């Protein structure tokens, strides 16, 4: 039998509640009770849809990472500045999600699928950065570009981490300085 509409609506409410709680207070805030309370649902309904709390959180993480994926539409035409600006905008606009990424990636002990997903995303971004560097400097070797891209993205990630811990930190300024060493 196909699923009933009301069940699908409940699933949506649970996912949305989970997403909000993760953004507001991190992994610790997303308890089963908190999720059910915010979704306006009882525990029994939750487990009628999800086999475990972890599965719901994984689904939120999957969806969020999907949204953040580099836009394939602009592939091959971005400059390094474009990419850095996009990164800065993402970190500032989606700072709550950035913290969840860090938490999930670093605390993923039982299930490291999130860490792997995060890594794939990172590698893809390194490739785009390296490609932009190669377009700007034809004399650059492939592996040199990849190494430079790793260092630059490391700096951006580290500065973003710094900013998550202290919102008074001027992330955009430092990020642009980090990028300027390759201009």
Partner DNA sequence: CGACTTTTTGAGTATACACTCCATTTTGGA
Partner DNA sequence: TCCAAAATGGAGTGTATACTCAAAAAGTCG
Gyration radius from the chain CA atoms: 19
Q: Measured from the CB atom, is 73 or 166 closer to a copy of itself?
A: 166
Residue 113 near which of DNA, a copy of itself, none (CB within 5-8 Å, type-dependent): none
Residue 31 near which of DNA, a copy of itself, none (CB within 5-8 Å, type-dependent): DNA
Burial (CB < 10 A; 0-12, 13-18, 19+), residue 96, is middle
CA atoms within 13 A on the CB side of 175: 26
Using the rule CB under 8 A, is 119 a contact of a copy of itself? yes
CB of 24 to DNA, least distance (A): 14
* Closest to 93 (Cα-Cα) out of 17, 153, 173, 23: 23
Using the rule CB under 8 A, is 165 a contact of a copy of itself? yes
- What is the longest distance spanned by two Cα atoms in the chain? 62
CB 40 within 8 A of CB 116: no
Q: By the criterion CB under 7 A, which residues form the site for DNA?
A: 1-10, 30-34, 41-49, 52-54
CB of 52 to DNA, least distance (A): 4
Instruction: Print the binding letters for residues 51-80 with a copy of itself: x by CB under 8 A, - otherwise.
Output: ------------------------------
Instruction: Print the binding letters for residues 124-163 with a copy of itself: x by CB under 8 A, - otherwise.
Output: -----------------------xx-xx-xxxxxxxxxx-
Three-state DSSP class for residue 153:
helix
| Contacts for 108 with CB less than 8 Å, ≥ 6 apart | 114, 115
CB of 23 to a copy of itself, least distance (A): 11
- Between the alpha carbon of residue 120 and those of residues 35, 70, 74, the distances in Å are 29, 12, 19
Return residues touching a copy of itself (CB under 8 A): 25-29, 99, 102-103, 105-107, 109-110, 115, 118-119, 122, 147-148, 150-151, 153-162, 164-166, 169, 173-174, 177-178, 181-182
């Amino acid at each position: 039998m196909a699923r009933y509409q009301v069940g699908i609506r409940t699933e949506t409410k649970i996912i949305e509640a989970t997403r909000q709680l993760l953004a507001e207070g991190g992994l610790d805030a997303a308890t089963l009770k908190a999720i059910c309370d915010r979704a306006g649902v009882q525990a029994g309904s939750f487990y009628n849809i999800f086999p475990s709390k972890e599965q719901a959180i994984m689904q939120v993480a999957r969806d969020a990472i999907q949204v953040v994926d580099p836009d394939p539409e602009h592939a091959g035409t971005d400059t390094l500045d474009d990419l850095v600006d996009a990164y800065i905008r993402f970190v500032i606009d989606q700072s709550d999600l950035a913290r969840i990424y860090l938490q999930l990636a670093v605390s993923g002990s039982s299930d490291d699928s999130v860490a792997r997903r995060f890594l794939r995303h990172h590698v893809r971004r390194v490739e785009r950065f390296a490609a932009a560097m190669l377009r700007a400097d034809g004399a650059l070797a492939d592996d040199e570009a990849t190494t430079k891209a790793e260092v630059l993205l490391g700096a951006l990630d580290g500065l973003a981490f710094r900013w998550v811990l202290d919102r008074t930190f001027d992330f955009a300024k430092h990020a642009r300085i980090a990028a300027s060493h390759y201009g």
